[in-house]
Structure 1
Amino acid sequence: MSRADHMDVAAYALGVLDPQDTERFEEHLATCWACAAELETMVPVVGLLSGIDGEAMAALEQTHTDPALLDRTLVAVRRDRRRTRVRQLLATAAAVVVFGGLSGVAAGMLGDDSPSVPQAEPTPPVPTSAPSSGPADPNAPGVGGDKEIEGDEHRATDPGTGVQTTMWLAKKEYGTQIAVQLGRLPGPRTCRLVVWRKNATSEVVSTWSVPGNGYGTNQNPLTLQLSASTSAPLGDIEKVQVQSVDVNGVASPLVTVSDL
């Protein structure tokens, strides 16, 4: 960069450079701290000049004042708006220098002797074991690893209603867990799952609504899958029954699993 570029600070602050020289100086200013610092000291002076009455200064033209000085002063007054742009350029130059300094520090911190940042290792997948007594029906719950079905499998089809079911009963500390799959179940209707104990008592463990197209039907081939639990121990259960409940609350059996 030529020495003339360092000599244009005052001319740039007063706004007397032509557009080509202005652009060239601004490129120089972005990388030259010396000119940036000098320009910053001139900003208050230009601000004071902006408060001078232009008409009063024009009147001085008729005096013995140097005409060249008068012209430069009036130009500075008219171009006071350039002060905002000057401050933006100073901020840009400062950011360039600060970024360069930080880059050097970061490069030193990331040298070969720096300790490596520990990286998290991927979590190993949890193994999925097949159920000990898995369903044979490919549409049954748990097929394909979606959910493990526990317990002994029991199948039944009611000869009167045609409703089919597969149930899995598993012994638990709290009682018995029951997984149910239902097909050929027409709708609409309200159903419930009832556990019958060997002491002739019963317990409703689940209720649900069947839509008009039913489950496992020609209109809806998908079967219904649900789960429930009871406090009754597995050894105390005599049968598990799916019932249909009409609007008057009267229940009728749809399908029963009794080979327990």
Structure 2
Amino acid sequence: MSRVDHMDVAAYALGVLDEQDMERFEEHLATCWACAAELESMVPVVGLLSDIDAESVTALEQTHTNPVLLDRTLVAMRTHRRRARFRQILATAAAVVVFGGITGVVFSNLADSGTAPQIAGPTSGPVQVPNTGSGDPGDPGVGGNAQEGRKVNVTDPTTGVTATFFLASKDFGTNIAFTLGRLPGPRECRLVVVREDASTEVISTWSVPQGGYGTNSNPQQLSLAAATSSKLDAVKHFQVQEVDGKGAGKPLVTVPAN
């Protein structure tokens, strides 16, 4: 067994021998238990060394007799390893970017399709439920939060003022939430409760600016709330009135209570 034959173990494991040298080494391997044992021990690391080619092995063999070449080879090997590690980092970063992009697209598609995952957690403040309307052609289109109580839509045929009232019976009396539109200004207004026994009560007053509410100048409607101690079944109707300089009221729109 020659020294060269023994040194062929690594080259054979890496598959860098030519066909003739490979056959020669296999003949040697059949009678040399030392090389067979060494070859078996190298199997786990062959994958780690798979990127070393025949030129690298030849260069390593030459370094045994040439110290200068040894230094150059070591520098080259270190550079090779650094570049390999750098390529691995770039590949990992690219994979993260691609995965992040795919994830963003998936979540975007889920959000667009209305099936975005809901995340449970503590919330603060009141939950607002939009008022989608009743479908009544006379409904002026009240927006905002869902209101409590029976909904009544009225448009006065004379003044053109529109009103949407939400009437809710309470232990204290009646709660009223209302919205007014097509109400020009400037003027002073009030909300009056007219009871079944013909008695009246003013429960809210306000002023209308120059542009009015629900008009061409100001499309925004006026939304207010009020309450009365009168029970709803004791109320005949609610009336929005314009108040003149002497305090007299002129009806703008009347809303039945029942």
> With structure 1 as the length reference, what TM-score do the two structures score?
0.48
> With structure 2 as the length reference, what TM-score do the two structures score?
0.48
